[in-house]
Amino acid sequence: MLDLYDHSLLRRIDFDEYGYKERKYHLYYFHPEIRKYLEHEVKDGKELLLLEEKQYGEQFSQQYCKLIKETYSAIGTNDHVLSLELFNLIWQNGNYNDFERAIRLAEDRTVASDISSRMALFLNYMGMYSKALEFLNKSSEINEKLQDRDRMSRDYTNIGLLLRNQGNYDHALSWDHKALAIDEERQDKAGMAADYINIGLGLSRQGKYDQALEYYNKALLIDEERQDKIGLSRDYRNIGSVLDDQGKYEEALQYHNKALLIDEERQDKTRLSKDYTHIGIVLNAQAKYEEALQYHNKALEKDKEMQNQIGLSKDYTNIGVVLYNQAKYDHALEYYNKALAIDEEREGEA
């Protein structure tokens, strides 16, 4: 029995933080193979499992809530591969996996909702869209029963995000408007600004640029009122992107440079990389290729500093596009292959 504890995921679960010291014995009952053995081979095994679940199920759920939060937070960090391995070990049990059990056992239904929503975001990242939507629907059902308006808004926003990523823009917009209705009712200014941004994104991807700008400017008004620097940077960048799509390059550059000023002041490397990328894209569209390369290389430097593999792949691709437009085909091919190598490595890790 001791080897089972020391060489399994059970070693990650420490009930001491919940005030329970003799943890090893009771944790065995939560291991899938032990559960199978007890259910089928031991007299009164099922009753024993039910007793243990009743007594320790809440701690079990709390721990798995913490685990999925850590797993999602590890995306893009050095801990990503290990977190993914741990997730896969649990997930491979299908519908009987411990995340599902943690949702079922949580007496605090807000914990069940948090596990479901985090699972959905992680599965969305993994490209498992139908399963992600299942978990989001579980979370929204829980919160609708609780009438937890804050979490309902969060769920509706996430459902909209998932549907938008799948290209279901009209369906996504209906959920974004549901989130907006709740945030307007609650006078949640930050939530309303985020809703306007999400609606703007959906409209922009449908090519409805003037409508998208209306919503982006609504978000901008709120962020100006709240003096939200991060929000303002996001708003300027989004407005600049729509103006770029409309071919209004000089106006687009004005907004991207406004975002850049804020992000330089805050020394926000992630957003600086985005600003440099957007400016580079606009300059490329204006056939100002040398200037475009300067900005794409600035983005590349930031992403190297942050070891941002997704960002690096995009940077190499963008540099390749500019070089191609300069008819430097061999040089462009070098950068395209650098991007390809990163994407193949990431696909192998997933």
Residue-level pLDDT at 36? 58
Distance of CA 158 to the CA centre of its chain: 9
pLDDT in tens, 58-108: 887 888 888 888 888 877 676 766 677 767 766 766 666 778 888 988 889
User: Residue 209: pLDDT above 90?
Assistant: yes
pLDDT in tens, 240-288: 999 999 999 999 999 999 999 999 999 999 999 999 999 999 999 999 9
pLDDT in tens, 96-110: 677 888 898 888 999
Contact 123, 139 (CB under 8 A): no
Does the domain at 268-350 match CATH 1.25.40.10? Answer given as yes
pLDDT in tens, 144-171: 999 999 999 999 999 999 999 889 999 9
Average pLDDT for 206-212: 98
Lowest mean pLDDT among 15-19, 121-125, 332-336: 15-19
Residue-level pLDDT at 244? 98
Taking CB atoms within 8 Å and a gap of at least 24, the contacts of 145-152 are 145/109, 146/109, 146/110, 146/113, 148/110, 148/113, 149/182, 149/185, 149/186, 150/186, 151/110, 151/113, 151/117, 152/182
Residue-level pLDDT at 146? 95
pLDDT in tens, 313-327: 999 999 999 999 999
Residue-level pLDDT at 87? 75
User: Residue 311: pLDDT above 70?
Assistant: yes
DSSP output for 110-164: HHHHHHHHHHHHHHHHTT-HHHHHHHHHHHHHHHHHHT-HHHHHHHHHHHHHHHH
Residue-level pLDDT at 118? 92
Task: Pinpoint the residues of the chain covered by CATH 1.25.40.10.
Answer: 268-350
Tally the residues of the chain: 350
pLDDT in tens, 4-54: 333 344 444 444 444 444 443 344 444 555 555 445 554 555 665 566 666
Tell me the C-alpha distance between 280 and 262, whole Å. 18
Instruction: Pick 49 or 140 by higher pLDDT.
Output: 140
The Cβ of residue 51 has, within 10 Å, a number of other Cβ atoms equal to 12
Q: Which of 241, 157, 153 is nearest to 198 (CA)?
A: 157
Instruction: Pick 49 or 112 by higher pLDDT.
Output: 112
User: If you average pLDDT over every residue of the chain, what do you get?
Assistant: 85
pLDDT in tens, 225-250: 999 999 999 999 999 999 999 999 99
Residue-level pLDDT at 31? 55
For the entire predicted model, the pTM comes to: 0.78
